[in-house]
Amino acid sequence: MRKRIMLLFFLLLFVCQTAIPVFAFDVQFGDTFLNGDDFPEITWVVEHGWMDLKNNRFMTYEYVRKDEFAMILAKVAGRDKNIKIPTKPSFVDVPKTNKYFAYIEAMRDYLPYEQTAKGFRKYNPTMYITKEQAVASVIKALGYKTDLLRKYTKSQLNKLIADSSSVSKEYIPFVAMAVENGLVNVTRVIVKKQTQYYFYPKTYVDRGWLAYLLYMITIPAIENKYELFDYALKTLTTGSKRIDFRYSKLSEKDINGTMEKVDILIYGSRWGLTFGGGRGFESSNGYKAYSMYYGYTGDEEEKQKELEEKIQKILQQTIFPGMTDEEKIKAIHDYIVKNARYDIENYNNGSIPADSYRAYGVLVKGTGVCQGYAEAFNILAQMAGIPSIIISGEATNTMSSGPHAWNMIKVNNEVRYVDVTWDDPVPDGGPNYVRYDYFLLTEEQIAKDHTWDKNKFSPELLDLLQKYMK
């Protein structure tokens, strides 16, 4: 069996950001899966429909006009539908003929404006939005910790950035909150061995900078490893294919251990996910964020769809109402043994194809090796409502010794082990020959010729999995 390398994202290098996110080029989105994975903030706002592509490009450095900003803010705040239009425009310079009129009216209470000599509001829709204006509008519109704004004072802002005097009085608490909570990046400047940070509040906002702000304020802030585990599992088991979070207190050890558990539960599971890539970065004030993508690309995605269709057919043929869990497990075990054969030819030649390592090879093509057998059993068992995980370890028999994969399951509140591979004889015994030498074994029984990291693949994982299978 091929040893599976845990694709643990946190070993990647964190990239220190400056006030303007460091993008080497305008991000272009094509048909290639995750070709924007180096820019999670951009894929985030595009996938959510908050910011659009222009001619299939994001236009990272393009400044954001106030009228466009109002539209984006309305989408983020969920106020872009069924907008009630007032009889009288709220801003004297935004007539009803303005194509952004509805969005501006929807967000009128959160947008920056000037007061004319006659007491009218003026929005200046064609002007560019500034950083301090954008930060204040976003925080107010999304209600981000607004109850804590009063604690952010001028003196506190002075401690955070060197150009605090440039921040307009009405924006001081918003800028201070954004900087302290890592919602925005600040430029780090070293002068005479002294580090100073600059926000440049009057600078115009470009699309990349706004994407970063919206990303950081809308992804969850994770405080501990328990929150991370729950968030990751809930997200991945309810249809999402990406995990995004920010943090300041989690250690690399906590993240590493937590995501290793997540990887064990998700890999080769009913949710059909595999780690696709990720990127981590750190803001100047110590806040870190990470984005992880799960899924398949191109041909693999088509195979996954084919596999899912096959799984449904198998379940219809093998699992019936009224069956006990033991009967379900036996039916799944027998189906795999009877309908698949070990890929001994390629194994002996050292030419095992990728499909043989996956459930696709075993269930769709009818051939595979231990990893594929274990994955096939894993998916079918979970789909039948039985907690199951894949164990990677070592095994020894009269034919071979080395890396191997099998399953740990929970049935009748007891932990049992199943090795479908070793119950399928080589050469193949035919469509009616089934062995039960490695069926529902105890830990003591299977440990006679199987070894594994029992802390890493602990029975506790089955209890955790059961919670998210419901």
- The DSSP annotation for 415-454 comes to EEEE-TGGGS-SS---TT----TTSSB-HHHHTTTEE--T
366 and 446 both lie in a single domain: yes
pLDDT in tens, the chain (470 residues): 333 333 333 333 333 333 333 333 455 554 333 344 468 899 899 999 999 998 888 999 999 999 999 999 999 999 998 888 888 899 999 999 999 999 999 999 999 999 999 899 999 999 999 999 999 999 999 999 988 998 999 999 999 999 999 999 999 999 999 999 989 988 889 888 888 999 999 999 999 999 999 999 999 999 999 999 999 999 998 888 899 999 888 888 898 889 899 999 988 888 878 777 777 777 766 678 888 888 776 678 888 889 999 999 999 999 999 999 999 999 999 999 999 999 989 988 889 999 999 999 999 999 999 999 999 999 999 999 999 999 999 999 877 789 999 999 999 999 999 999 999 987 766 667 899 999 999 999 999 999 999 999 999 999 999 988 87
Q: Is residue 108 part of a domain?
A: no
Residue type at 124?
A: N
- Cα four-point dihedral sign 118, 122, 126, 130: positive
Residue 136 lies in a domain: no
Q: Which of 295, 329, 357 is the last residue of a domain?
A: 295
Instruction: Give the DSSP per-residue string, 359-387.
Output: HIIIIIISEE-HHHHHHHHHHHHHHTT--
Residues 270 and 401 in one domain: no
Residues 227 and 310 in one domain: no
Tell me if 334 is assigned to some domain: yes
- Residue 281, SS3 per DSSP: strand
Domain limit, last residue, from 161, 182, 205: 205
Whose CA is closest to 429, among 338, 331, 302?
Answer: 338
Q: 135 in a domain, yes or no?
A: no
Cβ(370)–Cβ(318) below 8 Å: no
DSSP 110: T
- Sort strands 275-282 and 288-294 into parallel, antiparallel or unpaired: antiparallel
Question: Is there a single domain that holds both residue 335 and residue 415?
Answer: yes
List strands edge to edge, sheet with 388-396. 414-418, 401-411, 388-396, 450-451
Q: Are residues 291 and 312 in the same domain?
A: no
SS3 content of the chain, % helix, strand, coil (to 5): 40, 15, 40
What is the phi/psi pair of residue 81, to 5°? Answer: -120, 145
Q: Which CATH number do you get for residue 376? A: 3.10.620
Considering the domain architecture, whether residues 150 and 178 belong to the same structural domain is answered as yes
Regarding whether 411 and 306 lie in a shared domain, the answer is yes
Q: Do 246 and 341 belong together in one domain?
A: no
Evaluate whether residue 53 is within a structural domain: no
In three-state secondary structure terms, 18 is: coil
Token pair of 240 as six digits: 């999402």
- The domain of 237 spans 1-47+209-295
For residues 328 and 423, membership in a common domain is answered with yes
The pLDDT score that the predictor gives to residue 82 is 86
In this structure, is residue 72 part of a structural domain? Answer: no
Write down which residue in 295, 324, 339 finishes a domain.
Answer: 295
Answer yes or no: are the C-beta atoms of 217 and 48 closer than 8 Å.
no
Structurally, how many domains does the chain consist of? 3
Q: Read out DSSP for 21-67?
A: ---SS--B--SSTTTTTT-HHHHHHHHTTSS--BTTB--TTPBPBHH
**Does one domain contain both 238 and 257?**
yes
Q: Are strands 288-294 and 194-198 parallel, antiparallel or unpaired?
A: unpaired
pLDDT at 299: 78
Tell me if residue 292 falls in helix, strand or coil: strand
Q: What is the pLDDT of residue 6?
A: 36
List the structure tokens of 314.
Answer: 């198998």
The token pair at 418 is: 């199943």
- 267's CB contacts (< 8 A; 6+ apart) are 4, 273, 274, 275, 390
Same-domain pairing of 312 and 420: yes
Residue 282 lies in a domain: yes
- Residues 314, 349 within the same domain: yes
Q: What is the pTM of this model?
A: 0.83
Q: Establish if 194 belongs to a structural domain.
A: yes
